[in-house]
Amino acid sequence: MAKPPVCKIMDYGKFKYEEKKKASEAKKKQVVVHLKEVKLRPKTEEHDYEFKVRNVRRFLEEGNKAKVTIMFRGREITHKELGSAILDDVVKDLKEVAVVEQMPRMEGRQMFMILAPSPKVAQRARELARQQADAAAKKAEAKPGEGAKAGEGGKVEAGSSGSKGSEAASVVAAQAGMVPAVGNAAPGGTK
Nearest alpha carbon to residue 106 among 75, 80, 79: 80
- Give the largest CA-CA distance in the chain: 88
Q: Are 40 and 68 in contact (CB under 8 A)?
A: yes
The CATH number of whichever domain residue 110 belongs to comes to 3.30.110.10
Residue 118: CB atoms within 10 Å: 16
Amino acid at 163: S
* 133 domain residue, yes or no: no
Distances (CA, A) of 128 to 8, 121, 174: 41, 11, 59
Classify residue 10: in a domain, yes or no.
no
- Count up the domains in the chain and report the number: 1
Other Cβ atoms less than 10 A from the Cβ of 175: the count is: 9
> Residue 148 domain-assigned?
no
Amino acid found at 173: A
Task: Give the residues across from 188 on adjacent strands.
Answer: none
CB atoms within 10 A of CB 116: 19
Query: Tens-of-pLDDT digits for all 191 residues of the chain?
Result: 678 888 888 899 999 999 999 998 888 777 777 899 999 999 999 999 999 999 999 999 888 999 999 999 999 999 999 999 999 999 999 999 899 999 999 999 999 999 999 988 888 888 888 888 788 878 888 876 554 444 444 444 444 444 444 454 444 444 555 544 455 555 555 54
CA pair distance 21, 15, nearest whole angstrom:
10
80 vs 11: CA distance, rounded Å:
66
β-pairing verdict for 98-107 and 65-71: unpaired
Q: Is 146 inside a domain boundary? A: no
Domain housing 119: 35-123
Residue 158 phi, psi (nearest 5)? -65, 135
